[in-house]
Copies of this chain bind each other. A is one copy, B any other.
Amino acid sequence: MSKFSEWFHNILIEAEIIDTRYPIKGMHVWLPQGFQIRKNALKLLKSILDEDHEEVLFPLLIPEDELAKEAIHVKGFEEEVYWITHGGLTPLGKKLALRPTSETAMYPMFALWVRSHQDLPLRFYQVVNTFRYETKHTRPLIRVREITTFKEAHTVHATSQEAEEQVERAVEIYSSFFDLMGIPYVVTRRPDWDKFPGADYTMAFDTLLPDGKTLQIGTVHNLGQTFAQTFQITYETEDGQHEYVYQTCYGLSDRIIASIIGVHGDEGGLSLPPAVAPYQVVIVPIIFKEGAQEVLDFCSQVKNQLSRAGIRVHLDSRDLRAGKKFYEWEMRGVPLRIEIGPREIREGKMVLKRRDTPDKETVECREDELAELVEDRLGRISSHLKEKAWNMLQENMKETDSPLEARDIIQEDGGVVSFLWCGDEACGKELEEQVHVDILGIQEDADGTCVNCKQKARYRALLARTY
């Protein structure tokens, strides 16, 4: 286990994010703290999606024959699908699959819903649990058998161009979402051999974890007309023709939470972006034998003021040493701590300690400016976490024109290496073999010479060790 792996596993337990002791491999329990982070992240995401998507909820189970209809798709998932064979003591006439993803659950219904060009476009999403019988080593929030937080969007369009535009729009949506949480990312178009089963092409978001490996945190697929033809999803055009629709789908998973934890955390534990922190502020009263009640009352007033302003704030009035509380809330990643003792009350001040910086700051504690001051600091914390994380990614992105150098860089430092590539599958796979890492995907068109086969390069592409 790498140092990061160990840190990640420990912090999940110590900060009570999930319990990994559930008696099925790759399936875990969300604890209250973790659940709140997940809930806040989903709330951010939904506030963006709800602008032009509608939320729906499809059944978990898919009949065997529907799942099997789209041959390329089912082949991509056949080794990972959980099968239900019995209801009670009775064998089922038709096996039922637990959705690995919902194309084959949704698209037969889309075929019923889409009639005319006036019905289009359609943009739906749902947040559900999905299942994959992973045979690789599982890892909480990263590689699991029950994906508990699968946000999948599915859209239907009249033209190829609209589907292309939707792919761009989805990339924008996910970018905004990750930006709100300060998660840095590279966006690439996956190589053809690594695209979603059934898609024309796949765009992917990857972030970089502290061990130098990238983590895929979101994907956007242009499905073209593949599924439309399989499931007979057609619409009547203005002049009465019947045409197949064009589709896209795009998804996020529990890895959202893994990346929040992995990207921002440090040796002190979690460091949560204010946007998703269960408590954005914790108030720790500094209590001496005398005047304890006065301090508690004052802290309570401060708490109520912040709470009224919509800030998620907690007053820790437990009978414990302040140092122990500091340690605990730092470990849990609360972005801002306020310390107030008799001296602060006397001087009309309070002490602020940001989770993301080492220094303490003593500020005036004026009722009329309190909420504004705290919101300002939370804003600075968000910006600083984001900036730090993007710097880390950028420092670990290197260019090379030599496969051997690429291999050395990644072996020694990890990170992402960019290079010029011809785009040919055989060449790409040969390169992966040689460098012992994966081609994440292509970023842009480029001129020059392919780093491997020395033919004309078509793209700038990225290599990285991946989760």
* Contact partners of A55 in chain B: CB under 8 A: 32, 35-36, 39
A22 contacts chain B at the CB level, 8 A cutoff: yes
Say how far A457's CB is from chain B's closest CB, in angstroms.
Answer: 39
Q: Are B82 and A89 in contact (CB under 8 A)?
A: no
Say how far A24's CB is from chain B's closest CB, in angstroms.
Answer: 6
* Contact partners of A66 in chain B: CB under 8 A: 23
Copies in the complex: 2
* Contact partners of A80 in chain B: CB under 8 A: 87-88
Grouping DSSP codes into helix (H, G, I), strand (E, B) and loop, the A interface class, with mixed when no group exceeds half, is mixed
Q: Which residue of B lies closest to A39 (CB)?
A: B55
The stretch of A57-65, A151-159, A327-335, A356-364 in contact with B is A57-65
Size bracket, chain A contacts: 35 or more
**In this complex, which of A54, A56, A81, A131 has the most chain B Cβ atoms within 10 angstroms of its Cβ?**
A56
Q: Which residue of B lies closest to A28 (CB)?
A: B59
A19 contacts chain B at the CB level, 8 A cutoff: yes
Q: Mark A101-144, 1 if CB is under 8 A from B, else 0.
A: 00001001100100000000000100001010101000000000
* A32 to B123 CA separation, bound complex (whole angstroms): 11
Once A108-B23, A133-B90 are accepted as A-B contacts, the answer to whether A57 and B35 lie under 8 Å apart by CB is yes
* A131 to B61 CA separation, bound complex (whole angstroms): 10
* Contact partners of A24 in chain B: CB under 8 A: 59, 61, 63, 96
A206 contacts chain B at the CB level, 8 A cutoff: no
Partner of A85, one of B35, B78, B83: B83
A169 contacts chain B at the CB level, 8 A cutoff: no
Given contacts A27-B59, A61-B146, 5 further A-B contacts (CB under 8 A): A29-B58, A29-B59, A81-B87, A83-B84, A84-B84
The 6 tightest CB contacts between A and B, nearest first, are A87-B133, A32-B54, A30-B57, A27-B59, A79-B88, A83-B86
Can you offer 6 A-B residue contacts whose CB atoms are under 8 A? A24-B61, A24-B63, A38-B57, A59-B146, A61-B146, A88-B133
- B-contacting residues of A (Cβ < 8 Å)? 19, 21-24, 27-32, 35-36, 38-39, 54-61, 63, 66, 78-90, 96, 98, 105, 108-109, 112, 124, 129, 131, 133, 135, 146, 148
